[in-house]
Amino acid sequence: MRYLPLTDTDRGEMLARIGVNTVDDLFADIPSNVLLKAPLDLPRRKGELEVERIMSRMAAKNVPASSVPFFVGAGAYKHHVPATVDHLIQRSEFLTSYTPYQPEIAQGTLQYLFEFQTQVAALTGMDVANASMYDGSTGTGEAVLMAHRVTKRRKAVLSGGLHPHYVDVVQTLSKMASDDVVALAPDVSATEDLLASIDDSVSCVVVQTPDVFGNVRDLKAIADKAHQHGALLIAVFTEVMSLGLLQSPGSMGADIVVGEGQSIGNALNFGGPYVGLFATQSKYVRQMPGRLCGETADADGNRGFVLTLSTREQHIRRDKATSNICTNSGLCCLAFTIHMTLLGEAGLKRLARINHANAVKLADQLAGVKGVEVLNQTFFNEFTVMLAKPAAEVVERLAEKGVLAGVPVSRLLPGAGLDRLLLVASTEVNTDDDRAAFVAALKEVL
Amino acid sequence: MRYLPLTDTDRGEMLARIGVNTVDDLFADIPSNVLLKAPLDLPRRKGELEVERIMSRMAAKNVPASSVPFFVGAGAYKHHVPATVDHLIQRSEFLTSYTPYQPEIAQGTLQYLFEFQTQVAALTGMDVANASMYDGSTGTGEAVLMAHRVTKRRKAVLSGGLHPHYVDVVQTLSKMASDDVVALAPDVSATEDLLASIDDSVSCVVVQTPDVFGNVRDLKAIADKAHQHGALLIAVFTEVMSLGLLQSPGSMGADIVVGEGQSIGNALNFGGPYVGLFATQSKYVRQMPGRLCGETADADGNRGFVLTLSTREQHIRRDKATSNICTNSGLCCLAFTIHMTLLGEAGLKRLARINHANAVKLADQLAGVKGVEVLNQTFFNEFTVMLAKPAAEVVERLAEKGVLAGVPVSRLLPGAGLDRLLLVASTEVNTDDDRAAFVAALKEVL
Amino acid sequence: QIEPLIFEIGHHETTGVDLDEPEAFTPRLGGLERKEAIGLPGLSEPEAMRHYVRLSQMNYGIDTGLFPLGSCTMKHNARLNERMARLPGFSDVHPLQPVSTVRGALEVMDELSRYLVTLTNTTTVALSPKAGAHGELCGMMAIKAAIEAKGEGKTRNVVLVPDSAHGTNPATAALIGFTVRPVPARDDGWVHVDDVKKLLGPDVAAIMLTNPNTCGLFENQVVEIAKAIHDAGAYFYCDGANFNAIVGKARPGDLGIDAMHINLHKTFSTPHGGGGPGSGPVVLSARLAPFAPVPFITAENGVLTLVEQAKDATEQPFGRMTAFHGQMGMYVRALTYMLSHGSDGMKQASEDAVLNANYIRASLADLFSQPFGDKPCMHEVLFDDAWLKDTGVTTLDFAKAMIDEGYHPMTMYFPLVVHGAMLIEPTESESKASLDLFIAALRDLAMSAKKGETERFSGAPYHAPRRRLDETRAARTPVLKWTKPAPFAEAAE
Amino acid sequence: QIEPLIFEIGHHETTGVDLDEPEAFTPRLGGLERKEAIGLPGLSEPEAMRHYVRLSQMNYGIDTGLFPLGSCTMKHNARLNERMARLPGFSDVHPLQPVSTVRGALEVMDELSRYLVTLTNTTTVALSPKAGAHGELCGMMAIKAAIEAKGEGKTRNVVLVPDSAHGTNPATAALIGFTVRPVPARDDGWVHVDDVKKLLGPDVAAIMLTNPNTCGLFENQVVEIAKAIHDAGAYFYCDGANFNAIVGKARPGDLGIDAMHINLHKTFSTPHGGGGPGSGPVVLSARLAPFAPVPFITAENGVLTLVEQAKDATEQPFGRMTAFHGQMGMYVRALTYMLSHGSDGMKQASEDAVLNANYIRASLADLFSQPFGDKPCMHEVLFDDAWLKDTGVTTLDFAKAMIDEGYHPMTMYFPLVVHGAMLIEPTESESKASLDLFIAALRDLAMSAKKGETERFSGAPYHAPRRRLDETRAARTPVLKWTKPAPFAEAAE
């Protein structure tokens, strides 16, 4: 077998040195009635060519974003990632390394994590960032738990603009931990009265901007009210690209900023792996979940980096840990930080402007289609439209015409009476032709 | 511009240090009427996304071998290359290195060349091999020149089974160098009387096996006759995979063995880059063209490798050099040697058997189609069929049906009266479905 | 070998991505445009390429040498798997595009599920957990949901966890409100059914047991333990971190487990990538299956479809673990691994992993000390530091000295139940020749330690990109991001 | 850091490729089956991966550091270009599949030709030459064919070649029967039209002139030389190895060249790959265009098609250079480079390359000696070893000492017309910060040499995968392949 270097001769010699007769002598602790005698009823090994054919056949049944006019968002976005990024993350020394527990031979990983943390802190306008979470949604769950630890309260208020899946993740975790959650009703036009929900029992307010319906939200008043009541403001984003153009959550008073970093450096991957970004203020760093990389020096006085503050973590604190997390999204961080380094400040801002410009163009064009109403006053690269027909049906018919038009709100919020709403995203990958195809197809369907 | 690190500030500072005012001061030697003032009339720079789109659009107009039942050969073959190969040759340290002129920091390249040379010598059954040529055809031209140097004669006899393009390359070179070439008539059934062409004026006899029509040739008698007359036997192959199953040219008495190595490790690439293999006997090594890597030791006594015997080469000998060549097919060698190492002796032999088995199956199936006659008594993975209609026309019609059926002999030998002959290759990539599709389509067309 | 930080070499105006400015337009940002600079440096592409290539050169990976990190399973990452994960049909599809346009993606998930369920003899699998610890959380949530469904939510709130367990086990249990009750360690390395029985009662919700355990042993009383747990009305959560030792040799379902997470990045070789991303699907017994979280896949009239919200009464999903459908990129890699190995190859891989570990054990047994006696281990061999007594060399020193010999150290000081633990897992990816060199290096180091050559250890590593790093300083005065050095900042003003 | 050879670690029965044996069948090999063993070792995939990764770690590349090898143009290799070359529509098409199925491939070749012809202001281009030297051969063959077509084949058989030329120039001319007549070097580094005129006569077929020349200078009398050559009825072959200095700044056609090869791997950044593959298309003036070799591309009614044999009388191809259509993989990379840079980027690249070289020149001029005086250079700067006189340090020593500073040495002892030549080409891919570090390192070394610290040089390199290698031994008793060591062979029997 191509992956198994031992030869039968090797195996024989090794068993002899060990002093047993058969390999099953080494499995003697497995009760004999449980020990499998023959291979399981699954196919035998296959060569590369055959495996490639099987996998390619399955892949061919999906419609890749690049192959069609594509406007799907709602928490994951189609962007162009430079070829350099994917080349570099496949370097053996990055791809096949482990968590940098032995820093002397893991400075590559550690330095990029340190650079990543610095980039994320800058982007979010916060003091410190960790070395990433699984993704934005789980990071949001962790942020709520962290707020509970910091405030010693157990009630979170979730904005109606928070991505419904993020709401679900927080609620699942809170329900299991017997914490309270106040989830406000879906707030299509960003008119909810969040301030009214904030009182001295509240641990944190969780607000997404741009929210799931695309609205850009000003967090300052919410931050003020929260702070007056000893609560924290958790600012969430699902499109990190927006931070290139919008005021940072930190500058608006957020205490914890958490979000999805997929848009920079990472592919759509049908939902994962992605990379959760997580930042906070210095004073809360010891309550922050996740890995942290810190600067130090080696025995020769040379600068070096190590994982640090691990006394917060599960492998030391066990049931007293700040989180059960024991990995990060290493390679996805790396992709993020490489792409961000290639963009640089100038590139990121320009790319964000292009995203916004394309979305504005699309909104204006869609607004001209009979049966379409653009609901947003503000947005970055995604907005909500009200259609004359149920959105799920329209999306399905547009897919048949080769246009992937967006996410029907009913898919995220079934039964909420929002069936005619459609979330539409537009990024730098969309061309005039894409928009024209969308508009034309929509006219036929509506 | 993403590839150019200098900023305008940098440029200004640098000009100041140099002591000139503008960059054009550095181009002062270019006559001013010739110096271009504005960029040429070509498009301006483009981002990655746009370039990808342009290139992908062109790529999409071609039919990749993997996407259809594919039976095209005649000197280049569709094989499956393990993913490991392409991953490794893209390692920065291999991809972006230069000819190993500084061996102390190029041992990676040098060691794989040494391993490559050893593999090629073993495969061909010869004493020594060089570090590769551009491809099989140019290597054949070089082999003829080498034979002229060794024998101090200037007449080459080319078998009618030699690939017509190889014949053209040799003839072009010979004509320019005022050497003689006797090219025998196309020899579909390997019945030519090569021995009759050999006399004391002949420098070398060039014989391909399997020949371009697929016939497996026994070289022993030719070698004997050549040697009796002081001539060399140059054995050529266009399908290196065949050496896994067939007697080596060295064992049959060849003095120089040259051929195309594309099948191991390298993609079809529409004809290039490929990798020419070149091997000979020790006594001729100093007349051999191309780079050679040799073993030596460093100042600490550790084994190391260097380019050697470069006194044969153009950068030392100039107009007295054995060849004007000053590169090899470095990365293609690397792909070859990695793939060969993965295969190993057992894997190569098995792969060659699979190729032969598939070709035998295909030949038997085609023989059952009305209007098709298989001409070969012997073959490895390619053979010639006689069709009831002109082959070029049949191939075109089969292409319309999504089957790439082979190479019409008329494409290689126009006007030779062989218009109904088709060369058909079959490798490990062909499935029962492929063969069935071929047969079915052929029945419709004939 | 010092590589500057991007902040030290990059410029705000430099970019390695060419983009044209959009035509003028009126923004719709509600006046919330960013005004201040972000503070992000840019590099041109050649500079970025060199920066990251050089950083990578300071790393050690499986591809560069043997990586015997116990409990972490650093096996070969086949590049075929990477290639498959990058097929546009997998990498370039959106989690929320119409289900009709992602049937192949669902097929991958369904096929992966079939393999996992077959290999474990369980009923269903929750794919979405993003890593092993996330899988533990998923499994324990399912258990909690099941307990609540039986109306025992208030009373059953204790989870038994052996002292030798991974820290994630107690952390996970505590996270969702369970109280951890430790199962004490025994001097044979096994958890005894008698000890478990003593701790059982109507307050016990579950046991979290790692099997094979973190001492490298298969829990030989696991069937009895499972029975005792079930008899007490509790659930058996199995930490599947070491499943790689027994794939194709035994099925956890046959041992009586109710939930077990599978680290695709360990057992099925998706790359560790310097710390992730992982993937931690959880297999569930019939008792827990109804509580599996959304999303999941079902077949309706033979067509696979995705269930993102529960629809009928037989489903009582406990909720949602993550925004989308989990780590598709890892599913593709793991399935590619499974198709490549096949049932025969996976069984052989387990056997070779165990054989390799025992070969190391047998080859070092005369020099190193084994805490639980000289007996066969599973896929990893555990030594303690008793043999280093009085040498002045610690487990840490020994580990760092291995770096100078060209090896990544083994796992050290884990499991906690063993003093100065050294946990060595070679995996099935190593050849005998590679193991022989490794053994020779460890024997040489061991002899050196016993001879009192302490300098070789206390100052190690000498031949690495960095000498030993000061971790205390890092934790005491944390520097967690780069800040512009003050003098330069002043000079610039 | 010694990595064993595959022959020392592999086994004949081991394979890293899983294949099923075919079903039994009757071979049709005419009894010529191989009987003996071949002698090829195999490695499993994990072993092979590690072997080649470790080998790569002993190499230096552009991605790992500045690579100032004069005349070789080690510029950044963009990975976009690699990705494009691997699109199945380019990499997975056969040179002889029906032309109707490769229209896009022809389009790439046609577009590349258009760019090359525009950049050079010539008439046509022969794409198929496989490397620079092969391109020279192509160009000289076209010249020979043109001369023969004029009936001067017997009489015009001399080619003028300056002493500073690349060795390939005289080698190429000699290969096809020309006699080389050297143009002597002058102490200003330029070829003088007066010297050329003296050598001209009815026997002269061509001049082979490199421009910019190998001394790093633009031939300032090139227009006059071209005129003199043409007036004498001869042709102007330009060695285009240094075209990268003037792309977008001057067009060789405007200078009067008749043929020039273009190293796609230098000027347009297809990777050097440790020695190839290269690609050497040749642009031709109207006078030579009819003689371009097959194959070439023409448009018939707006549809591109491939001409593999000449069909009409206006075409008089001199023959065929190689079996198929040249280096398609390189065409794709070069075209991707050109589309990415655009006309503005290519011009800027030339300017930056020249600026970088002059920056190094100006920064070292006080310490190093310039053979032709202190004047601007093109994309590479040439020093000689006059400044090392009496230091006991040679150009070779100096080069090897650069390795210890983390740099690849510059080109040494070329061009031959300069004593102890050091030819430095930074390319446009280096940042100013990178150049400043390089300059500081060279200045430090130079000071050290002048101070007489000879050990730092004579023993160098000290910090490389190998110390200085014995090239004499390698050439005197060549060991060109691995052979099984005798003692082991006996032991095995």
**Residue C158 sits in a domain of what CATH number?**
3.40.640.10
Quick one: average pLDDT of D59-81? 97
Residue position matching structure tokens 């003095």: B255
Nearest CA in chain B to C63: B88
Q: Is residue D22 part of a domain?
A: no
Work out the number of other CB atoms within 10 angstroms of the CB of residue A439: 18
User: Sheet containing C158-162: which strands, arranged edge to edge?
Assistant: C124-126, C282-284, C259-261, C235-239, C204-210, C158-162, C179-183
pLDDT at residue D80 tops 60: yes
**Touching partners of A (3+ C-beta pairs < 8 Å):** B, C, D
**D465/D359 same-domain check:** yes
Work out the number of other CB atoms within 10 angstroms of the CB of residue B12: 10
C198-231 residue pLDDT tens: 999 999 999 999 999 999 999 999 999 999 999 9
Note whether B48 contacts A342, CB cutoff 8 Å.
Answer: no
State what percent of residues in chain A have pLDDT above 70: 100
pLDDT at B166: 98
Of C53, C76, C433, the CB nearest to D64: C53
In sequence order, the β-bridge partners of residue B251 are: none
Q: Is residue D329 part of a domain?
A: yes
**C162/C280 same-domain check:** yes
pLDDT at residue B141 tops 60: yes
pLDDT at B403: 98
CA separation (Å) from D76 to B95, B96, C45, C325, D149?
11, 8, 8, 39, 43
Confidence of residue D489 (pLDDT cuts 50, 70, 90): very low
Structure-block tokens of residue D319:
């023959």
Note whether C64 contacts D45, CB cutoff 8 Å.
Answer: no
Quick one: average pLDDT of B161-175? 97
**Touching partners of B (3+ C-beta pairs < 8 Å):** A, C, D
DSSP secondary structure string for all residues of A85-146: HHHHHT-HHHHT---SSSGGGBHHHHHHHHHHHHHHHHHHT-SEE-S-BS-HHHHHHHHHHH
Which residues are within 8 A (CB) of C131 and not within 5 positions of it... i.e. 6 or more apart?
Answer: A134, A325, A326, A327, C263, C276, C277, C278, C279, C280
- Whole-angstrom Cα distance, residue B119 to residue B125? 10
D292-331 residue pLDDT tens: 999 999 988 889 999 998 766 677 999 999 999 999 999 9
State what percent of residues in chain C have pLDDT above 90: 94
Confidence of residue D490 (pLDDT cuts 50, 70, 90): very low
User: What's the mean pLDDT when you consider all of chain A?
Assistant: 97
Confidence of residue D493 (pLDDT cuts 50, 70, 90): very low
Quick one: average pLDDT of D75-98? 98
C111-123 residue pLDDT tens: 999 999 999 999 9
**D215/D352 same-domain check:** no
**Touching partners of C (3+ C-beta pairs < 8 Å):** A, B, D
Of D94, D346, D354, the CB nearest to B76: D94
Work out the number of other CB atoms within 10 angstroms of the CB of residue B353: 18
Q: Nearest C-alpha of chain D: how many angstroms from C372? A: 32
User: What's the mean pLDDT when you consider all of chain D?
Assistant: 95
Contacts of A90 in chain B (CB under 8 A): 87
**D394/D284 same-domain check:** no
> Which position has the higher pLDDT, C487 or D350?
D350
Confidence of residue B143 (pLDDT cuts 50, 70, 90): very high
**D98/D226 same-domain check:** yes
Residue of C132, C115, C80, C72 whose CA lies nearest to C427: C72
pLDDT at residue C489 tops 70: no
C122-157 residue pLDDT tens: 999 999 999 999 999 999 999 999 999 999 999 999
pLDDT at residue A437 tops 50: yes
A5-21 residue pLDDT tens: 999 999 999 999 999 99
**D422/D275 same-domain check:** no
- Whole-angstrom Cα distance, residue A326 to residue B187? 70
CA dihedral over D378, D384, D386, D390, signed as positive or negative? positive
Query: Given phi > 0 = left and psi -120 to 50 = alpha, else beta, which region is B289?
Result: beta
**C328/C399 same-domain check:** no
- Whole-angstrom Cα distance, residue A269 to residue C86? 9
Domain stop point among D320, D337, D354: D337
Structure-block tokens of residue D103:
């229209």
pLDDT at C312: 66
| Contact indicator for D353, D245 with CB cutoff of 8 Å | yes
Quick one: average pLDDT of B310-337? 86
**Cα angle, residue C102 at apex, residues C99 and C107 outer, rounded to 5°:** 110
- Which ipTM value was assigned to this complex? 0.97
- Whole-angstrom Cα distance, residue A120 to residue C206? 40
| Contact indicator for D11, B315 with CB cutoff of 8 Å | no
User: Sheet containing B204-208: which strands, arranged edge to edge?
Assistant: B128-129, B276-280, B256-260, B232-237, B204-208, B155-158, B180-183
Quick one: average pLDDT of C350-379? 97
D103-161 residue pLDDT tens: 999 999 999 999 999 999 999 999 999 999 999 999 999 999 999 999 999 999 999 99
Task: Collapse the DSSP code of C399 into the 3-class scheme (helix H, G, I; strand E, B; otherwise coil) and give the result.
Answer: helix
Note whether C17 contacts B92, CB cutoff 8 Å.
Answer: no
Residue position matching structure tokens 């070491």: C242
Quick one: average pLDDT of C387-392? 96
Contacts of A92 in chain B (CB under 8 A): 91
User: What's the mean pLDDT when you consider all of chain B?
Assistant: 97
Partner A contacted by C298 (CB < 8 A): no
State what percent of residues in chain C have pLDDT above 70: 98
pLDDT at D492: 42
> How many domains would you assign to chain C?
2
| Contact indicator for A228, A239 with CB cutoff of 8 Å | no
Confidence of residue D1 (pLDDT cuts 50, 70, 90): confident
pLDDT at residue C350 tops 60: yes
pLDDT at D313: 66
Note whether D409 contacts B102, CB cutoff 8 Å.
Answer: yes
Q: Is residue D122 part of a domain?
A: yes
Contacts of C45 in chain B (CB under 8 A): 2-3
pLDDT at residue B361 tops 80: yes
In sequence order, the β-bridge partners of residue B374 are: B385
Note whether C63 contacts D49, CB cutoff 8 Å.
Answer: yes
pLDDT at D487: 63
Note whether C45 contacts B3, CB cutoff 8 Å.
Answer: yes
- Whole-angstrom Cα distance, residue B234 to residue B215? 17
Confidence of residue C491 (pLDDT cuts 50, 70, 90): very low
Partner B contacted by C57 (CB < 8 A): no
D385-419 residue pLDDT tens: 999 999 999 999 999 999 999 999 999 999 999 99
Amino acid at B304: G
Q: Nearest C-alpha of chain B: how many angstroms from D207? A: 15
Note whether D78 contacts C45, CB cutoff 8 Å.
Answer: yes
pLDDT at residue B128 tops 70: yes
In sequence order, the β-bridge partners of residue C298 are: C305
Q: Is residue D12 part of a domain?
A: no
| Contact indicator for A396, A410 with CB cutoff of 8 Å | no
pLDDT at A398: 98
| Contact indicator for C413, C371 with CB cutoff of 8 Å | no
Residue of B96, B299, B102 whose CA lies nearest to D408: B102
**C278/C366 same-domain check:** no
pLDDT at B38: 87
Domains and CATH numbers, chain B: 65-81+345-445 (3.90.1150.10), 83-339 (3.40.640.10)
Q: Is residue D413 part of a domain?
A: yes
Domain stop point among C314, C337, C360: C337
How many Å separate Cα D78 from the centre of its chain?
Answer: 18
Work out the number of other CB atoms within 10 angstroms of the CB of residue D117: 17
| Contact indicator for A64, B32 with CB cutoff of 8 Å | no
In sequence order, the β-bridge partners of residue A206 are: A158, A234
Domain stop point among D285, D305, D337: D337
Contacts of A54 in chain C (CB under 8 A): 339
Note whether C481 contacts A296, CB cutoff 8 Å.
Answer: no
A332-381 residue pLDDT tens: 999 999 999 999 999 999 999 999 999 999 999 999 999 999 999 999 99
Nearest CA in chain C to D76: C46
C63-118 residue pLDDT tens: 999 999 999 999 999 999 999 999 999 999 999 999 999 999 999 999 999 999 99
Quick one: average pLDDT of A399-411? 97
Contacts of B269 in chain D (CB under 8 A): 90-91, 93, 327-329
- Whole-angstrom Cα distance, residue A63 to residue B47? 25
**Cα angle, residue A351 at apex, residues A347 and A355 outer, rounded to 5°:** 170
pLDDT at C492: 42
Partner A contacted by C21 (CB < 8 A): yes
State what percent of residues in chain D have pLDDT above 90: 94
Residue of D301, D335, D308 whose CA lies nearest to D113: D335
DSSP structure class, residue A284: G
B35-77 residue pLDDT tens: 999 889 999 999 999 999 999 999 999 999 999 999 999 999 9
**C330/C440 same-domain check:** no
pLDDT at D486: 76
Q: Is residue D26 part of a domain?
A: no
Q: Is residue C28 part of a domain?
A: no
* Structural domain boundaries enclosing C298: 80-337
Instruction: Report residue A292: phi and psi, to 5°.
Output: -135, 140
**D313/D407 same-domain check:** no
pLDDT at C401: 98
**D301/D201 same-domain check:** yes
DSSP structure class, residue B104: G
Quick one: average pLDDT of D446-475? 96
- Whole-angstrom Cα distance, residue D330 to residue B274? 11
Contacts of D45 in chain A (CB under 8 A): 2-3
Task: Collapse the DSSP code of D264 into the 3-class scheme (helix H, G, I; strand E, B; otherwise coil) and give the result.
Answer: helix
A182-205 residue pLDDT tens: 999 999 999 999 999 999 999 999
pLDDT at residue C490 tops 80: no
CA separation (Å) from B88 to A47, A252, C61?
19, 48, 15
**Residue D356 sits in a domain of what CATH number?**
3.90.1150.10
Interface B-D: count of C-beta contacts within 8 A: 713
- Burial grade of D24 (CB within 10 A; 0-12, 13-18, 19 or more): exposed
Contacts of A4 in chain D (CB under 8 A): 44
DSSP secondary structure string for all residues of C128-154: ---SHHHHHHHHHHHHHHHHHHTT-TT
pLDDT at residue B324 tops 90: no
Q: Nearest C-alpha of chain B: how many angstroms from D386? A: 22
A64-84 residue pLDDT tens: 999 999 999 999 999 999 999
Q: Nearest C-alpha of chain D: how many angstroms from C53? A: 6
Q: Nearest C-alpha of chain D: how many angstroms from C85? A: 16
Q: Nearest C-alpha of chain C: how many angstroms from D341? A: 10
**C425/C305 same-domain check:** no
pLDDT at C300: 85
Partner B contacted by A49 (CB < 8 A): yes
C399-436 residue pLDDT tens: 999 999 999 999 999 999 999 999 999 999 999 999 99
pLDDT at C250: 98
- Whole-angstrom Cα distance, residue C357 to residue A67? 48
Interface of B with D in 59-98 (CB under 8 A): 59-67, 70, 72, 74-76, 78, 82, 84, 86, 88-98
Note whether C355 contacts A327, CB cutoff 8 Å.
Answer: no
Quick one: average pLDDT of B210-214? 98
**Cα angle, residue B127 at apex, residues B123 and B129 outer, rounded to 5°:** 65
